[in-house]
Amino acid sequence: MKDWSGVGEAYSASYSALCAGTFVTMREALGEPHGRSLVDVGAGDGTLAAMWTAEGWTVTACEPESTMRAVSHRRHPLIDTIDGTLPTLPFADGAFDVAIANFVLNHVPSPRSAAAELRRVSRGAVVATTWTLSPSWLWAEITERAGIAPFAGPRLPDDEDFERTADGFGRMLQEAGLQRVEVTELDWTWIADPRALWRSVEGGVAGAGALYARLDQVDRQQFRTAFDQVVDERSANGFLPLAHRAAVAVSAAR
């Protein structure tokens, strides 16, 4: 659980591209749009919503964080981007043919209630993703090198949490009432620009950004030094190849 307030610009310049890495897998699972409507819940800066729109879907983007919506409105003015948050979305039952939540259910206070809400607003499929190998592995290594205590944000209570595996994600969705859930794992390498990664840190994005915001000047310098060391050791042609893995779950139409 992390605070995403005010990070729209920094997220858009960095992790937005990473999170869009699940798009092809989701698109293949859903097939051709054939005039169908889709709601992208937790749409962030609108990158994924724009990709669905380009494929021919009728898209509504739903995002609770104001700076994310501001970026989405600026970058994708033709996409309907509205304020809405799980687990109470401002839509009627079965308002859309498909509901999407890309790396959202791992950030909400009640994943099962949120998943049930996705089911409520979709008259067709629900597609959701979560990390099984998240970007945090890189920052954990950098933090250790810097000799800094790792970020420890608030965690879900045991009765709300779920096992961060493909099987665990699928079980959680079934417990939420979703039916015919199929989960696959997707591995990919994100070729990251170190400048964008550092912008995410200074912009307060995710755990690394939250950690950096709490550091004093000495620890910030140690953190930056450790970051530069990792970049020097692992980058190729100025970019950093980073391995990630996600669980992609599809719940068929009811």
Q: How far is CA 17 from CA 20, 30, 103, 140, 151, in A?
A: 5, 21, 13, 21, 24
- Report d(CA 148, CA 218) in Å as an integer: 11
Please report the pLDDT score of residue 254 as a whole number: 62
How many other C-beta atoms lie within 10 A of the C-beta of residue 245? 13
Indicate if the pLDDT at residue 152 is higher than 90: no
Confidence of residue 103 (pLDDT cuts 50, 70, 90): very high
| Contact in structure between 4 and 65 (CB atoms under 8 Å) | yes
For 186-226, give the secondary structure using H, E and C.
EEEEEEECHHHHHHHHHCCCHHHHHHHHHCCHHHHHHHHHH
pLDDT above 70 as % of the chain: 98
**Phi, psi angles (nearest 5°) of residue 241:** -80, 120
DSSP annotation of 110 reads -
The 10s digit of each residue's pLDDT in 206-228 is 999 999 999 999 999 999 999 99
pLDDT for res 153: 73
| 3-state SS assignment for residue 61 | strand
Model pLDDT for residues 180-193, shown as the tens digit of each residue: 999 999 999 999 99
- Report, as an integer, the average pLDDT of 151-168: 90
